[in-house]
Amino acid sequence: MNVLLLGGTGRTGGRVLQQLLGRGVRVRAVVRSAERLPAGVVDDPQLTVVVADLVSLSDEQVREQVDGCDGVISCLGHAVSVQGVFGPPRDLVTRSVERVYRATREVRPAQPVKLILMSSVSVNRPGGLDTRRGRFERAVVWTLRGLVPPARDNQRAADFLHDVIEAADPYAQWVAVRPDTLKEGDVTEYALHEGLVDSLFRPGETNMANVAHFMCELATDPEVWAAWRGRLPVIVNASPA
């Protein structure tokens, strides 16, 4: 299978890239800077590196990247710096997801492309389905979205997937993966939940390697995909026994 990877130079995206290649998946990675890819992957014959900024490509160029892909994984995120958080593009994640989705409609693949978005537990399930948050916590999250563009961007990207891509869409299906606080470490046991399990004030932990593992499972295992498509699973490390 072929996967288009966005954000492959990031902390989680790099792990996704290594794990996809380890599974024998062909990967096309669109990156701004190939030097930032994880060590040892660039010579892998299964990897094609496209040095480009997806948000700056023409529609035709985005189509070329999406064409032939069975899945698209986005691990894009805003850099943790004043420029990264408050500078353009403030809608990096949303715009990328929208562009990729629109490209799938033009490519008209025979099977729906799997769109897999790295999201966050700060993102609410649309329709008020995350009932776990109390009133005060909801107010904090709402304020964060008003003040911090990346928080707003992540919510909008998930809303776009939920609101625009219908279950019967012939060209694309989606899953938005919601990790809690990201941690280093290897793949361990992890748990998947339909809704939130921890609070903003007592956050859970999620190894980036576990996020990568779940995203690879979604891309490669039809049963895992069928279980989660059209949903926003929360992923957290399993509690030690």
Smallest gap from Cβ 66 to ligand NAP, in A, equals: 16
Q: Checking phi first, is residue 7 left (phi over 0); if not, alpha (psi -120 to 50) or beta? A: left
Number of residues that bind ligand NAP (CB under 6 A): 26
Question: Which of 27, 47, 75, 219 touches ligand NAP (CB under 6 A)?
Answer: 75
Residue 9 binds ligand NAP (CB under 6 A) = yes
**Contact pattern for ligand NAP over residues 171 through 210, marking x by CB under 6 A:** --------x-xx----------------------------
- Of 160, 123, 128, 129, residue with least CA distance to 144: 123
The single-letter DSSP state of residue 238 is P
CA-CA-CA-CA torsion for 148, 127, 111, 170, nearest 10 degrees?
Answer: -110
Question: Which of 79, 139, 147, 238 touches ligand NAP (CB under 6 A)?
Answer: 79
Name the segment binding ligand NAP (CB under 6 A); options: 69-77, 108-116, 137-145, 223-231. Answer: 69-77
- Of 153, 34, 177, residue with least CA distance to 91: 153
Smallest gap from Cβ 6 to ligand NAP, in A, equals: 7
Residue 12 binds ligand NAP (CB under 6 A) = yes
- Of 169, 85, 78, residue with least CA distance to 118: 78
Chain centroid offset of residue 18 CA: 16
The answer to whether 237 touches 205, Cβ cutoff 8 Å, is yes
Q: What's the residue count for the chain?
A: 241
**Contact pattern for ligand NAP over residues 21 through 50, marking x by CB under 6 A:** -----------xx--x--------------
Q: Which is closer to ligand NAP, CB of 19 or CB of 171?
A: 19
Smallest gap from Cβ 13 to ligand NAP, in A, equals: 5
With residues binned 3-state (H G I as helix, E B as strand, rest as coil), the percentages for the chain, rounded to 5, are: 40, 20, 40
Smallest gap from Cβ 98 to ligand NAP, in A, equals: 14
Q: Report in angstroms the alpha-carbon separations of 147 from 71, 107, 144.
A: 33, 37, 5
Restricted to residues 122-141, the positions that interact with ligand NAP (CB under 6 A) are none
Residues lying near ligand NAP in the complex (CB under 6 A) are found at 7, 9-13, 32-33, 36, 53, 55, 75-79, 89, 92-93, 118, 120, 150, 154, 179, 181-182
